[in-house]
């Protein structure tokens, strides 16, 4: 039995599929000597196809975004024409008689080992380019009818060292029952995507790839962060029971669907949903969320082979706005960088990506891409109730600059007589301590605040949200975090604007209780957490929540706050032995 970090709730029991690195779909397969030429022809065809696609992408980006942004694609095309690049893979196929996917993978590993040993940033960057090109070729090999990788069963549990948010977004829910990784944190984007796809997951389980073998029976308890490999019959039996209870608990929550999110003393809390993919709108409506509080748009960019153009973005935003109408949809502009990267969007390698060119900083450095997204959002605003929001605002000047750009785009649309919502609300995320401290000033410029606690915590305590070795410091109950949240809520209310929390903190019952007491008006959680959060709201009193928050703000240590809030919640929920499902 192994303990890790709970990343996505649910209990699953199934066979393991262990992968030693993050190359999800690449397996080593031996081929007979008679198939060597056919395998090389397959490689060449995929390279040619990738070249044609890259040329088309280059032209599209040149046309829609700009020449500078398209330059990287010229470098890709040159690489694809370089016989050294694919020649090495050909040689491996011939001499080692293995499939071309694995041969490409070996070439890449050689490059990676080489570039790890050198410090030249140009060469490092070039190796990243090669990595993303090889990915594209492998995708093209797959679509050319590659035999599926042999997996242990129809359904399996992935056990890996690490999975990127893009790997997770690519998972087929029909076959992946759950996953376990050795690295990661509860609010890493890999965990967030798992929750939105409702795939149970545990992260940060040290050494699990060497403890489990493919085919071993594995249990994942994503709520408690427990992984069991080859359980004895007694443990297996008890988890089968737990699984039934979990399913029943989820079913019981459905009773809250039609009810309002209001405390017993009639304080209204707005409950909205966070989404990563347009397809999640079904789950948002199914759980009767009051709106979309956060649409992480970078996920419509993440598993594409090139940057989605204005029309593609417009279509996605318009569809969501129409389906949610008359409820509102808060669209956040791109938040790339940190732990999310796009193969076709070049960022020079950074020592500290979470402290680097991320989110609005990256948008500001790529104005064409930023403007294109703003144009798509504004155009979609004519079809529903859209709000726009900027991520990772750090200084006041960023808001000035971003609003200036919005005004420019609005003027251009007006000139062209394109319809949009002229009074669209524009808010900012508060997720950097400097913004929280200056919230009273920033509130004068924003129509609303949304606190991104996932980042606010990591930047306040200087502990990477995806690093399990410092997860003991990553604590939402750190009094410094709570005091910052209180400051932001007070500043927002003084300026007459609303404040929400869209970080994962909003979906833990005891934390939602505290956030309400700290003055948060809206909680935005994953669609699958809407009803459990509503249950908390409907069972607490606002007056108690205010008192709880006052107590917490006077404390020095997170552990004292935790014990106190848990005891209060127990008292609230236990003696009544009933859940407030009355219509009143
Ligand atoms: C946050 O930081 O809390 C947030 C909602 O944004 P993300 O998790 O995408 O960084
Ligand atoms: Mg964030």
- The token pair that represents 164 in the structure block: 């990127």
- pLDDT tens readout for residues 425-455: 999 999 999 999 999 999 999 999 999 999 9
Q: Name the closest ligand to CA 456.
A: 1
How far from chain centre, in Å, is Cα 221? 21
Whole-angstrom Cα distance, residue 584 to residue 582?
5
User: How much distance in Å is there from the Cα of 453 to the middle of ligand 1?
Assistant: 7
pLDDT at residue 420, as a whole number: 98
pLDDT category, 64, cuts 50, 70, 90? low
Element (H, E) at 291: strand 291-296
Mutate to test the pocket of ligand 1, among 194, 429, 463 (most ligand atoms within 8 A of CB): 429
3-state secondary structure of 24: coil
Helix (H) or strand (E) holding 573: helix 558-573
* CA 391 – ligand 2 centroid, Å: 7
CA-to-CA dists, residue 383 to 316, 421, 485, angstroms: 12, 9, 34
Question: Which residues is 12 bridged to in the sheet?
Answer: 220
Which ligand 1 atom is at minimum distance from the Cα of 192? 8
pLDDT of residue 104: 80
Which string of DSSP letters, residue by residue, matches 123-152?
Answer: HHHHHHHHHHHHHHHHHHHHHTTPPPPP-S
pLDDT of residue 142: 60
CB 141 within 8 A of CB 46: yes
Say if ligand 1 is within 6 A of residue 501 CB: no
Hey, what domains does the chain have and what are their CATH numbers?
2-21+149-233 (3.50.30.10), 33-144 (1.10.274.10), 262-583 (3.20.20.60)
Closest among 280, 393, 38 to 272, alpha carbons compared: 280
**What tens digit of pLDDT does each residue of 29-46 get?**
788 888 898 888 888 888
Q: What is the pLDDT of residues 234-267, one digit of tens each?
A: 999 999 999 999 999 999 999 999 999 999 999 9
**Active site includes 189?**
yes
Has 105 been annotated as catalytic?
A: no
Task: From the candidates 17, 100, 502, 510, give the one annotated as an active-site residue.
Answer: 502
With tokens 């809206």, the residue in question is 522
Residue 565: both structure tokens together:
């809030």
Query: pTM value?
Result: 0.77
Give the integer Cα–Cα distance in Å for 507 and 524.
Answer: 8
195 ligand 1 Cβ < 6 A: no
């Amino acid at each position: 039995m192994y303990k890790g970090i709970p990343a996505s709730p649910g209990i699953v029991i199934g066979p393991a599929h262990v992968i030693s690195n993050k190359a999800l779909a690449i397996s080593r397969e031996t081929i007979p000597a008679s198939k060597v030429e056919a395998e090389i022809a397959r490689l060449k065809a995929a390279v040619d196809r990738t070249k044609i696609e890259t040329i088309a992408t280059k032209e599209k980006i040149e046309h829609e975004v700009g020449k500078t942004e398209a330059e990287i694609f010229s470098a890709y095309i040159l690489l694809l024409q370089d016989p050294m690049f694919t020649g090495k893979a050909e040689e491996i196929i011939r001499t080692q008689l293995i499939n071309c996917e694995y041969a490409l993978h070996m070439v890449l590993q050689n490059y990676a080992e080489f570039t790890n040993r050198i410090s030249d940033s140009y060469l490092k960057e070039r190796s990243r380019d090669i990595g993303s090109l090889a990915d594209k070729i492998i995708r093209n090999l797959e679509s050319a009818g590659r035999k599926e990788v042999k997996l242990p069963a129809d359904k399996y549990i992935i056990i890996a060292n690490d999975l990127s948010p893009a790997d997770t977004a690519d998972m087929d829910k029909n076959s992946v029952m759950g996953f376990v990784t050795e690295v990661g944190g509860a609010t890493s984007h890999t965990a967030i995507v798992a929750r939105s796809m409702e795939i149970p997951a545990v992260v940060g389980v040290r050494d699990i790839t060497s403890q489990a073998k493919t085919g071993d029976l594995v249990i994942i308890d994503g709520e408690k962060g427990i992984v069991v490999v080859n359980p004895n019959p007694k443990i297996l039996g008890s988890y089968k029971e737990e699984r039934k209870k979990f399913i029943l608990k989820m079913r019981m929550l459905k009773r809250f669907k039609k009810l309002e999110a209001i405390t017993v003393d009639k304080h209204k809390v707005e409950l909205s949903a966070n989404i990563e993919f347009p397809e999640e709108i079904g789950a948002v409506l199914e759980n009767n969320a009051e709106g979309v509080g956060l649409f992480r748009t970078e996920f419509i960019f993440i598993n594409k082979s090139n940057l989605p153009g204005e029309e593609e973005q417009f279509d996605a935003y318009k569809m969501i706005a129409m389906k949610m109408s008359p409820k509102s949809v808060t669209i956040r502009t791109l938040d790339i960088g940190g732990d999310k990267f796009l193969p076709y969007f070049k960022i020079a390698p950074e020592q500290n990506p979470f402290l680097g060119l991320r989110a609005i900083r990256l948008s500001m450095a790529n104005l064409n891409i930023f403007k294109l997204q703003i144009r798509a959002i504004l155009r979609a605003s004519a079809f529903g109730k859209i709000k726009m929001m900027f991520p990772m605002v750090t200084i006041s000047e960023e808001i000035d600059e971003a609003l200036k750009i919005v005004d420019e785009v609005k003027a251009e649309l007006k000139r062209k007589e394109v319809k949009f919502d002229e009074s669209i609300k524009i808010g900012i995320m508060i997720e950097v301590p400097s913004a929280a401290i200056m919230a009273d000033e920033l509130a004068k410029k924003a129509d609303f605040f949304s606190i991104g606690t996932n980042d606010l915590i990591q930047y306040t305590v200087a502990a990477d949200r995806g690093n399990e070795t410092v997860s003991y410091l990553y604590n939402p109950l750190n009094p410094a975090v709570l005091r910052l949240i209180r400051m932001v809520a007070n500043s927002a209310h003084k300026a007459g604007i609303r404040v929400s929390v869209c970080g994962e903190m909003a979906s833990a019952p005891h934390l939602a209780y505290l956030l309400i007491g700290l003055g948060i008006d809206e909680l935005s959680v994953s669609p699958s957490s809407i009803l459990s959060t509503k249950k908390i709201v409907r069972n607490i009193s606002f007056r108690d929540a205010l008192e709880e928050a006052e107590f917490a703000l006077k404390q020095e240590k997170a552990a004292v706050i935790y014990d106190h809030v848990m005891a209060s919640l127990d008292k609230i929920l236990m003696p009544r032995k009933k859940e407030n499902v009355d219509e009143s």
